[in-house]
Structure 1
């Protein structure tokens, strides 16, 4: 409980600081006053100009909220997948879900104008969601052909689907004749929160909130799956059925988040291991801590992506990869006894 409240307070303070830092810096107390005046619809504060208030409220606040929501959702996805497949390297990107969402989004960006049905054009959000669902179905079908679904076959099927989807995305980008679309697609595949708007927050906030609530009610099943199929059967849990349900939900979650912020790797891999090292492997304590720490991690990563380059934003996927690569090497070549310990 102490850790949980500490993370909540840290997330609040870091978010206030992140909203105020940028090309135009605003003191934390002024950020708080601006947010309070906007939320309760009171008169604007006199110490900050209206232009700066608009920057804080219309640009930075939705961006920080999207960063927190996306970080929480991606960390949750990684934790659930690691428990479900009993593999410390599992995350949506390794199992091909995010790569499938990337294919759908790239198709929507570069070919969306050609994909119109009854006057409705395929959008990036719907394209990413469709791609994530198709990739998940492909992984489940490959892993379950003629045999019972197993964790090893899931990992192998995910690697195959991920490689195939990455190749398809790169092929579409390479063959596209639209130079502006190619640049947008290439930047999007590296992850970005620059397009965050209030109007686009409803869906990711709703989906992440529902997923967090659902999986908080599944801590017993997650503990059982982490212990193995035999332990799950002993407790009366159908491991294969639960694994399929969780994979489908993670595909939905990943598709929604990827459609909003692009490909942001390593969050689902890094955060569960960082938190597990000081909270333990029990999901009752681990899951809420991972959600909060994931939000903090991505808010900080987005802050770095905004301030490192004076001329513009650095894709956030680069920041998370630079942070996550050392941990991945530690997992591959070091000692990771804390997983399931």
Structure 2
């Protein structure tokens, strides 16, 4: 009996060996992708496409391979002495996600030098990897905890699965103000910075509970986001956003965020994810006709993403009503210039994108 128990315990060495191979492949994929992106027009835009279209799917693929090899269960067995119980399941999820994230970090590392050259910034490879590593660890922990309810109940129907997925997405979206603050270095604005942000928010018509400044260091990413549920929305602005944008540009970009709140852009994205994930997971779990469920997931994704693009345009319109269409268009052009990004334009919208091409947004605002 003892021998049978030993045989049933997942071995840690095989998945770790495959993880090492995947890390090496990640470095190769990242280096090859970076070499191509640097030689194309609009390299910054191509790097963003590389991250979303190649490196992220590669990391997800690595996570899937490691899950098939039971890396998480092997880690849980080694740490806790078994794989039974919710604690072991959450630890297994965390280990699997962290393994996929490690592969993603390995693929990201060779691109840092190319981004530094394309944007003309003094970005330290070590600092960038440390910041991204903290983000990967934090997100892996949060997602593993959010998936915890999946291990508390035996899901026997798509309806039960939908309920658990809705709960997980609600935790991620509702807890975003604290999650972002936990995985990123932030400071609370004081003095003149606080007064300036208050004036800019009032000018843009943006109502939030509080504001935190994200330290971007040499990364020089000038972004702004609003996260959280109604009643506790938190504004995140980067230090570069405050340094590089004048008040007119900053107010216009904040007005876009106010428009996104009115248009419920983040809510639509969350609903789209759940609507597509329910039939997809049900198909993988064998809870119904596989190809019908896969088709339903694909249709839900297309419809949801189209609604998201419509909401992005509506947010631009709302911002134009607040501060003027030309002011918003100028702000988007300034945003592109700060990031060495050439605004792209598409004759046909990308059906698998939740965003509208930046150049199309600017042209549309100019047309008003």
What TM-score, normalized to structure 1? 0.33
TM-score computed with the length of structure 2 as normaliser: 0.31
- Greater radius of gyration (CA): 2
- Relative contact order higher in (CA < 8 Å, ≥ 6 apart): 1
